[in-house]
Structure 1
Amino acid sequence: MKNRRILAALLLAGFAASAVSQSLYDEKSYRALASDTRAYRVGDALTVQVLENSAATANADTGTRRKNELSADLTRAHVPTVSVGIGAGGEFDGGGRTTRSGKLLAQLTVTVKEVLPNGDLQVAGEQLLLINDEQQRINVEGRVRPQDIAENNVVVSSRLADAKITYVGEGELAERQKPAWWRKALDFVGL
């Protein structure tokens, strides 16, 4: 009986020595129950509302007029007068107008890629859509100040610094929008 008690005490001592206490608090993933849900560290998700509306117009009008004349008279004694004249003139009127506008409305979720030394978040993300066999890709990259992120973890694209927003379509419709190779060749030689 005494041996059993000693053996049990040794076993309990061995288990107690190997038991390590662990905290439930993990600094890397801890978020207080009452804290907001805004992105603030690498790997967090952030929703970007892309609201871009741009318009540009350029006009140019040119008008030039030119008139040059050169004349000479040659007179000799007892010889009839000889006159020579050269004249040149030209007019040019030109003008052009370029108008371009674009509008992009989208919403996508990006990931925090880096937390910069000043606290700004470097974010990037991509969304692929397939509509009627047309693939459309939206890429968003930029830098976000934490104070620009709304309570619902959304930021508007106009608040992205160094923003790079691309919207590209691939498919039959996108190919039809491009000029043919022969049109590009004629444009290259100026025809």
Structure 2
Amino acid sequence: MRLIHFLPLAVLVTGCSSLEEVGRLPDFTPVQISAETSAMLNPSLPQRIERQSPVDGASLWTASRQSLLGDRRAIERGDIMTVVIEIDDSAEFSNTSSRGRTGTETAGIPSLLGIPQRINESLPEGASMDELISTSGTSSSSGNGSISRNEKLELMVAATIVDVLPNGVLHIQGSQEVRVNFEIRELLVEGYVRPEDISRQNEITYDKIASARISYGGRGQIMQMQQPRYGQQIADIVLPF
């Protein structure tokens, strides 16, 4: 009973929150509260700076990241790298099954010491012990199923190292939001990468990200029109039929 009284209130609250967005552009997610910004504001402990001789300091071949030919790939907490997403997957499955069975059974007692003939005299007209039992049955079933899927996605997004695991694996997170008219397109990337998989261009492809989580979608007026209304969603959950 409490649930029944609570449902109208929940629908009213969600409806009012949607009415507040009428005629307004969808808001961006605040950047200040993201894990990426936190990693940049709280970087890892600074590395010990070794003293260099005047000759080494002026050389172009030093191994430091600040040198002209130094390795500038992301490696520490707060560093930024580029994630290249190029998904071109297709799958097609087709299954067909068919089964059939036919059976016939007939049983009778035409003669047994004259007993069937005596019984036939007392049976109704048309009944006889010669055809005591006769059964037949037929069953058949068939099924067809097919799955066809084709996905293609080409995107690039900057991701930030939010944590460095004890084994050196990098935990990265990246987000991107683009607003066009009253619709926001969102791209979210998260996962774990090895430093040696990062290219010299400071890029990494999605297939080298462990536990990759890639989300590509949007929110706004078009997305709201594609979603069922709150009442319909509640009805789909509550109604048993």
Q: Return the TM-score normalized by structure 2.
A: 0.58
- SS of equivalent residue, structure 1 residue 41: coil
2:197 paired residue among 118, 140, 148: 148
1:27 CA drift (Å) = 3.6
Name the one with the larger strand percent: 1
Q: Distance in 2 between matches of 1:175 and 1:71?
A: 66
What amino acid maps onto 2:103 in structure 1?
N
Number of residues of Structure 1 aligned to a counterpart in Structure 2: 162
2:79 paired residue among 44, 54, 57: 44
Deviations 1:70-122 (A, max 9, x none): 32224402534452322221211211101112111111101001112222211
1:133 CA drift (Å) = 2.4
Deviations 1:114-151 (A, max 9, x none): 11222221101111122342322111111122222122
Closer, same or farther in 2 for the Cα pair 1:178/1:72, shift >3 Å?
Answer: farther
Q: Identify the range of structure 1 (156-165 vs 73-82) with the bigger mean alpha-carbon deviation.
A: 73-82
2:162 paired residue among 113, 125, 138: 113
Q: Residue 61 in 1 paired to residue 96 in 2?
A: yes
Q: Distance in 2 between matches of 1:65 and 1:179?
A: 43
- SS of equivalent residue, structure 2 residue 108: strand
- SS of equivalent residue, structure 2 residue 196: helix
Structure 2 unpaired stretches of 5+ = 1-45, 50-63, 111-115, 121-127
Q: Percent identity?
A: 27
Closer, same or farther in 2 for the Cα pair 1:100/1:174, shift >3 Å?
Answer: farther
Closer, same or farther in 2 for the Cα pair 1:74/1:129, shift >3 Å?
Answer: farther
Name the one with the larger helix percent: 2
Q: Distance in 2 between matches of 1:50 and 1:134?
A: 22
Equivalent position of 1:135 in the other structure: 184
2:210 paired residue among 141, 161, 169: 161
1:172 CA drift (Å) = 4.4
What amino acid maps onto 2:74 in structure 1?
A
Deviations 1:26-71 (A, max 9, x none): 7479843232221110001111111112222222111010223232
Deviations 1:133-180 (A, max 9, x none): 232211111112222212221111122122111112334444555678
What amino acid maps onto 2:215 in structure 1?
T
Structure 1 unpaired stretches of 5+ = 1-25
Task: Give the alignment's Cα RMSD to 1 decimal.
Answer: 2.9
